[in-house]
């Protein structure tokens, strides 16, 4: 203790041998889908780790199939330890989904709260949302002390941080500029959104930049600048449940309704207190990963204003319901939007 340790070549050689052993047979094995899997998870203040393994039916020894883990971002580092351990559980199962989706498995953790995550009633917050996400898996959670948990070391190592800060600014600017100047043909099939009547049509919409100036008066930024916009969104009956679920983790008591809300909320995001909806634009020209459209969620009190702007101004030119609908949904969203547009056009 308190003595300077000298790292020699022998020390380095022993360390390299140990690393090689951890990623080689007999410690590391190929998965056997006829045998049950074991998942060990753990979390520390700055990282999470998870190890997928299997018991040898003959020796009863546990062997590693794969290792995994990542660092926690700044927000996650502020979470309670129970939430960090719950995140390790969720991330571990999702990471090894191809192995675990159709097989019963055992999870080992040193956290008591996470051990009972699948049995606690009326669980709220992040743990409640994650419990809903994991209901489709068949697993049992067991306690294993940290010093005997294979994932303990993985939750204490440093991981390379992956995020926007890792990309050179000039590359980001070039990519954004290229996407802004490029014109695509959006091919929209018969999907019209949630619970909507869907005529069998095929519409092609040019999303070029020629009308940018005429669209300024209906730009989403104009809505977001209004002082009352966040309040109107937050208290709109169509979005109240989404806000409660996303911000507070509140879910309905009925399991079926809770699952429906979880699936619905997947298509929403709250950014700086403002709610957005996402949909996939089906296109032959858009590269994969660039076809996700971010729509501003419009509360009921502002929908007529949007319809008037799009249908009655130069861009709308009193076009039909299909063209108006395509123009609106490139920027905005609300439930039953297609039906509302159709009704509005028939009455003006």
Q: Identify the sign of the CA torsion 230, 233, 236, 240.
A: negative
Which residue in 137, 131, 101, 104 sits closest to 118, CA to CA? 131
pLDDT of residue 259: 79
| DSSP states along 182-237 | ---EEEE-S--STT----S--EEEE--STTTTTTGGG-HHHHHTSTTHHHHHHT-T
- CA-to-CA distance for 82 and 262, rounded, in angstroms? 21
Q: Could you tell me the domains of the chain?
A: 9-148 (3.30.420.10), 168-347 (1.10.340.70)
Q: What CA–CA distances, in Å, run from 200 to 190, 208, 333, 340?
A: 6, 25, 21, 18
In this prediction, residues 177-195 reach a mean pLDDT of 44
Note whether 335 and 264 are within 8 A (CB). no
Please tell me which of 54-58, 285-289, 317-321 the model is most confident about, judged by mean pLDDT: 54-58
Q: Between these two residues, 252 and 96, which has the higher pLDDT value?
A: 96
pLDDT digit string, tens, across residues 266-300:
888 888 889 999 887 654 444 554 567 889 999 99
Residue 60 confidence class, pLDDT cut points 50, 70, 90: confident
pLDDT of residue 3: 75
Note whether 38 and 108 are within 8 A (CB). yes
Alpha helices in the chain, H assignment, sequence order: 9-22, 74-77, 81-95, 97-100, 112-115, 125-133, 169-181, 220-224, 229-234, 240-248, 255-265, 303-312, 321-329, 337-347
pLDDT of residue 222: 76
Please tell me which of 125-139, 194-208, 224-238, 240-254 the model is most confident about, judged by mean pLDDT: 224-238
* Summary mean pLDDT of the chain: 76
- CA-to-CA distance for 7 and 125, rounded, in angstroms? 47
The SS3 call for residue 296 is strand
* Cβ neighbour number for residue 86 with a 10 Å cutoff: 29
pLDDT of residue 233: 93
Which residue in 117, 123, 92 sits closest to 105, CA to CA? 92
Cis, bond preceding 26 (omega within 30 deg of 0): yes
Which residue in 106, 99, 92 sits closest to 62, CA to CA? 106
Between 116-130, 180-194, 212-226, the lowest mean confidence (pLDDT) is in: 180-194
Residue 203 confidence class, pLDDT cut points 50, 70, 90: very low
- CA-to-CA distance for 175 and 12, rounded, in angstroms? 44
Note whether 79 and 43 are within 8 A (CB). no
């Amino acid at each position: 203790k308190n003595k300077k340790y000298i790292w020699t070549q022998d020390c380095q050689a022993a360390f390299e041998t140990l690393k090689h052993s951890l990623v080689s047979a007999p410690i590391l094995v190929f998965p056997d889908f006829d045998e049950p899997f074991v998942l060990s998870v753990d979390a520390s203040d700055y990282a999470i780790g998870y190890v997928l393994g299997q018991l040898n039916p003959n020796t009863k020894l546990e062997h590693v199939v794969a290792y995994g883990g990542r660092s926690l971002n700044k927000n996650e580092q502020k979470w309670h330890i129970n939430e960090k351990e719950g995140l390790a559980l969720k991330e571990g199962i999702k990471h090894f989904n191809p192995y675990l989706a159709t097989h019963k498995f055992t999870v080992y953790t040193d956290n008591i709260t996470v051990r009972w995550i699948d049995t606690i009633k009326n669980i709220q917050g992040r743990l409640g949302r994650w419990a809903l996400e994991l209901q489709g898996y068949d697993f049992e959670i067991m306690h294993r002390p940290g010093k005997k948990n294979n994932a303990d070391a993985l939750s204490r190592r440093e991981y390379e941080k992956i995020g926007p800060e890792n990309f050179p600014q000039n590359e980001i600017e070039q990519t954004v500029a290229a996407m802004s100047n490029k014109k695509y043909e959006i091919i929209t099939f018969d999907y019209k959104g949630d619970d909507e009547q869907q005529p069998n049509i095929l519409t092609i919409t040019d999303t070029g930049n020629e009308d940018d100036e005429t669209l300024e008066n209906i730009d989403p930024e104009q809505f977001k600048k209004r002082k009352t916009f966040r309040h109107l969104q937050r208290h709109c009956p169509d979005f109240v449940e989404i806000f409660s679920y996303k911000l507070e983790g509140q879910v309905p008591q009925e399991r079926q309704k809770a699952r429906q809300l979880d699936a619905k909320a997947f298509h929403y995001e709250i950014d700086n207190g403002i709610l957005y909806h996402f949909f996939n634009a089906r296109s032959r020209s858009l590269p994969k990963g660039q076809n996700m459209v971010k729509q501003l969620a419009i509360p009921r009190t502002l929908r007529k204003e949007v319809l008037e702007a799009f249908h009655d101004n130069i861009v709308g030119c009193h076009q039909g319901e299909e063209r108006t609908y395509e123009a609106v949904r490139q920027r905005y969203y609300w439930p039953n939007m297609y039906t509302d547009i159709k009704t509005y056009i028939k009455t003006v």
